Amino acid sequence: MKKILVLNSGSSSLKYQLFETDGSAFRVIIKGLAERIGIDNSNISYQTENGTKETMNIPLENHEITLKAIFDILLKTSLSSIDELWAVGHRLGHGGEYFDKSVVIDDNVIEKIYETKDLLPLHGNAFILGIEAMKNLLPNIKQIATFDSAFHQTMPKEAYLYALPLEQYEKYRIRRYGFHGTSHYYVSKELLKIMPSAKKIISCHLGSGSSITAIKNGKSIDTSFGFAASCGVTMGTRCGDIDAFIPLYIMKTQNKTADEVNQMMNKESGLCALSGGYSDTRDIEKRYNEGDEKAIVAVNIYVHNIVKYIGAYTAEMGGVDAIIFTAGIGENSSFLRQKICDRLKFMGLDINQDANQLRSQFVELSTKDSKIKAFVIPTNEELVIAQDTYELCANA
Ligand code: AMP
């Protein structure tokens, strides 16, 4: 049995999961989250597979100290020695055009990750912090990187190239990259296990960040995130698609800096702005049902934009066999799924009301006679990372 630690590093948070595997079955032994790294009141929590939970308020000045705290938790609960760790898999936000699959991390890979760090305005180089910290603590452990953009590297040029002067792509690599790739890959693969005939799939990853992907013959051919993870459908606090001239106009006429506009578009927009301060769809749904005007407008815009992408991707693929809902909203919000599916009735989508009440589980929403199938498939990006880590390390 091999033990694989999967890390998802943010600038002030670090999620971790410890897997045990023989290469075919993957079991999560313990998982947890460190929050407020480098900020006051930091804390670290864990939950073991038998349900033991604990949250500790301890100072976590940086990612290396946080990793040491994670090691202490692993030693207390799951490992007799840290040498039992066989490999580490990291979630990376951006692989630029360098990576179309997971890779073993070496100096060359680290150099390329640094090259792409500015491409993610919300996350910057946060993902690399976990890699560097692990390298310092366990210099000989094998580390693997799985990239959120990798699955979308199959997009054709007409989907990824913007109509800007070609130099912007050729010299500066400005193009559509797409993100949430690990999630879109996982849920589409899970669907294909039970519906191998699904040649045209639309995967809707709807969470605090959201993206929609058109998957033809198992490959991503278009996706709603673009150069950055801010465009596409309306999100919790991100604006999604807006006219490209708006930020320029705001900067010019309101005397705002690029950083201020970035902050506005990514942290102060989306459902939060439209609903008057609510980015969680549970709050918005409640207010919608109470007749709150802003919540109603927010929901209508949210649904409108998702339906628009589903329509566009159906046209791009020349039809759709199945639609997948995943992530926090996609897996849990019967209310929003219902509203989206109602708008797709014209395409022959018919959903079962009882099935749509279920949450956080793999379920077929569509009725037997529905022309298009629809499913809720819980995503599991950490499992993909653990599986890729095993494959790459076992064959290294
Ligand atoms: P994620 O980014 O995938 O973790 O999704 C987080 C978002 O999912 C939250 O901000 C909520 O808007 C939404 N969410 C989580 N649980 C529920 C629920 N039970 N009903 C509706 N929305 C939910």
User: Shortest CA distance to 360 belongs to which of 323, 325, 322, 310?
Assistant: 325
What does the pLDDT read at residue 122? 59
Catalytic residue flag (residue 100): no
Residue 216: count other Cβ atoms within 10 Å of its Cβ: 18
Residue of 282, 283, 338, 382 best suited for mutating to test ligand 1, as the one with most atoms within 8 Å of CB: 282
Q: Are 389 and 144 in contact (CB under 8 A)?
A: yes
What's the CA-to-centroid distance between 106 and ligand 1, angstroms? 36
pLDDT under 50: residue ranges of the chain: none
8-state DSSP, 305: H
Q: Give strand pairing partners of 142.
A: 87
> Which residue puts its alpha carbon closest to atom 4 of ligand 1?
328
Question: Which atom of ligand 1 is closest in space to residue 285's alpha carbon?
Answer: 21
**For the segment 345-394, what is each residue's pLDDT rounded down to a tens digit?**
999 999 999 999 999 999 999 999 999 999 999 999 999 999 999 999 99
What does the pLDDT read at residue 121? 59
Question: Which atom of ligand 1 is closest in space to residue 284's alpha carbon?
Answer: 12
Please give all residues whose beta carbon lies within 6 A of any atom in ligand 1, as ranges.
Answer: 207-208, 236, 280-282, 327-329, 332-333
> Which residue puts its alpha carbon closest to atom 18 of ligand 1?
332
Q: C-alpha distances in angstroms, 166 versus 116, 118, 138, 286, 305?
A: 19, 20, 44, 47, 29
Q: Are 184 and 151 in contact (CB under 8 A)?
A: yes
What's the CA-to-centroid distance between 329 and ligand 1, angstroms? 4
What's the CA-to-centroid distance between 147 and ligand 1, angstroms? 23
Q: C-alpha distances in angstroms, 262 versus 55, 206, 265?
A: 33, 22, 5
Residue of 122, 180, 206, 208 best suited for mutating to test ligand 1, as the one with most atoms within 8 Å of CB: 208
What's the CA-to-centroid distance between 281 and ligand 1, angstroms? 6
What's the CA-to-centroid distance between 236 and ligand 1, angstroms? 10
> Which residue puts its alpha carbon closest to atom 10 of ligand 1?
280
What does the pLDDT read at residue 215? 98
Residue 126: count other Cβ atoms within 10 Å of its Cβ: 20
User: Shortest CA distance to 34 belongs to which of 133, 179, 105?
Assistant: 133
Question: Which atom of ligand 1 is closest in space to residue 281's alpha carbon?
Answer: 12
Q: Are 105 and 145 in contact (CB under 8 A)?
A: yes
8-state DSSP, 263: H
How buried is residue 81: exposed, middle or buried, by Cβ count under 10 Å (0-12/13-18/19+)? exposed
Question: Which atom of ligand 1 is closest in space to residue 379's alpha carbon?
Answer: 3
Q: What is the pTM of this model?
A: 0.94
Q: Are 152 and 213 in contact (CB under 8 A)?
A: yes
Question: Which atom of ligand 1 is closest in space to residue 280's alpha carbon?
Answer: 12
What's the CA-to-centroid distance between 101 and ligand 1, angstroms? 28
- List 72, 83, 106, 148, catalytic entry: 148
What's the CA-to-centroid distance between 350 and ligand 1, angstroms? 24
Residue of 271, 332, 335 best suited for mutating to test ligand 1, as the one with most atoms within 8 Å of CB: 332
What's the distance, CA 230 to chain centroid?
12
